[in-house]
């Protein structure tokens, strides 16, 4: 680890092995980590240090634990990590790689705060006939401690109860009516009920974010693979990164995390071991976004 001023690391893309580069960063450098590591045995990248081609699932998980162990030092105590990870079939069986990863990090001292289902409405069709077609991945939110930064209001969803999508028994005709809800029945005395004034129980900005996110896959014409959806990254950053905070992606790929961070007024740090992807990310930043002010 070097002793350079922390500001020298900001808004930079490093072409390097994730662990090696993280070891060069100072403690408490970033507010949030949003990333999607290369999946186990899914794609062979043109770099000898690449992650994902380990000989066994356990070797892959062990390497991830080591990388995120170093990332833990770089992350501020009030920070969180948001990790997207897909699964893998081997010899007809699902390996359960996302949960192996999440539980291994918990064993290493992380706190698992939420498991989120990323539903892909435009997932690729599959010819498989012996099981359902997979159209989801996991997003894990983990923290270093119980006290951390989280802005629930920034990612609230529209209420459903007062809309045509409501599936409440009896429809919505009971709202605002005495005895319209079961306060006086078997639930009498339940403090969670509101004497038919359910409107008072709902936050004016919307309901709390749910754990199933339906977000389409994104495409970028210069990349031959599907890229990180901006909406997925945006939700994590808005929820868990303070204004003008620093976002780190140690597996930056084509640069989506850095681009979203800049769009939202945050700073970024990106790492990727593939020079082609680093160049791609830098081009995308230059083409789509003005540089940040040096005095911010």
> Is the pLDDT assigned to residue 296 strictly greater than 50?
no
The answer to whether the CB of 30 falls within 8 A of the CB of 248 is: yes
142-153: b (≥16 Cβ within 10 Å) or e? bbbeeebbeeee
Assign 295 a pLDDT band (cuts: 50, 70, 90).
very low
Residue 260 to residues 120, 138, 186, 232, Cα–Cα distance (Å): 20, 20, 49, 10
pLDDT tens string 124-158: 888 889 999 999 999 999 999 999 999 999 999 98
Look at residue 228 in the predicted model and tell me its pLDDT.
Answer: 80
Q: What is the mean pLDDT of residues 101-123?
A: 97
Interhelix angle 256-263/230-240, rounded to 10 degrees, is 50
Q: What is the mean pLDDT of residues 195-200?
A: 55
* CA–CA distance, 13 with 26 (Å, rounded to integer): 16
Q: How many residues does the chain have?
A: 296
Average pLDDT, the chain: 86
* CA–CA distance, 195 with 178 (Å, rounded to integer): 6
pLDDT tens string 230-278: 999 999 999 999 999 999 999 999 999 999 999 999 999 999 999 999 9
Domains of the chain: 6-157+208-288 (3.40.50.150), 160-201 (no CATH)
pLDDT tens string 179-197: 555 555 555 656 555 555 5
* CA–CA distance, 223 with 19 (Å, rounded to integer): 25
Percent of the chain with pLDDT over 70: 78
Tokens representing 194 are 């509101």
Q: What is the mean pLDDT of residues 86-95?
A: 94
Q: What is the mean pLDDT of residues 10-31?
A: 97
Tokens representing 248 are 């780190």
The answer to whether the CB of 281 falls within 8 A of the CB of 26 is: no
């Amino acid at each position: 680890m070097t002793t350079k001023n922390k500001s020298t690391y900001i808004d930079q893309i490093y072409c390097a092995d994730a662990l090696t580069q993280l070891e060069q960063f100072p403690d408490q450098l970033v507010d949030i980590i949003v990333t999607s590591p290369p999946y186990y045995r899914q794609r062979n990248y043109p770099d000898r240090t690449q992650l994902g081609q380990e000989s066994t699932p356990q070797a892959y998980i062990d390497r991830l634990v080591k990388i995120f162990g170093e990332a833990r030092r770089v992350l501020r105590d009030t920070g969180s990590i948001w990790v997207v990870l897909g699964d893998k079939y081997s010899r007809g069986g699902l390996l359960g790689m996302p949960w192996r990863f999440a539980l291994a990090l918990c064993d290493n001292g992380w706190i698992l705060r939420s498991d989120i289902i990323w539903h892909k409405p435009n997932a690729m069709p599959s010819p498989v006939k012996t099981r359902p077609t997979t159209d989801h991945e996991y997003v894990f939110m983990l923290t270093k401690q119980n006290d951390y930064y989280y802005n629930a209001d920034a990612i609230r969803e529209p209420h459903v109860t007062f809309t045509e999508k409501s599936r409440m028994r009896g429809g919505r005709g009971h709202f605002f009516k005495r005895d319209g809800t079961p306060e006086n029945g078997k639930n009498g005395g339940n403090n969670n009920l509101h004497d038919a004034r359910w409107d008072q129980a709902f936050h004016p900005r919307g309901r709390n974010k749910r754990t199933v996110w339906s977000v389409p896959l994104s495409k970028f014409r210069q990349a031959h693979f599907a890229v990180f959806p901006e909406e997925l990254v945006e939700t994590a950053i808005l929820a868990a990164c303070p204004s003008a905070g620093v976002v780190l992606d140690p597996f930056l790929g084509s640069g989506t995390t850095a681009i979203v961070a800049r769009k939202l007024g945050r700073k970024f740090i990106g790492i990727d071991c593939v020079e082609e992807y680093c160049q791609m990310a830098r081009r995308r930043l230059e083409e789509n976004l003005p540089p940040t002010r040096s005095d911010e």
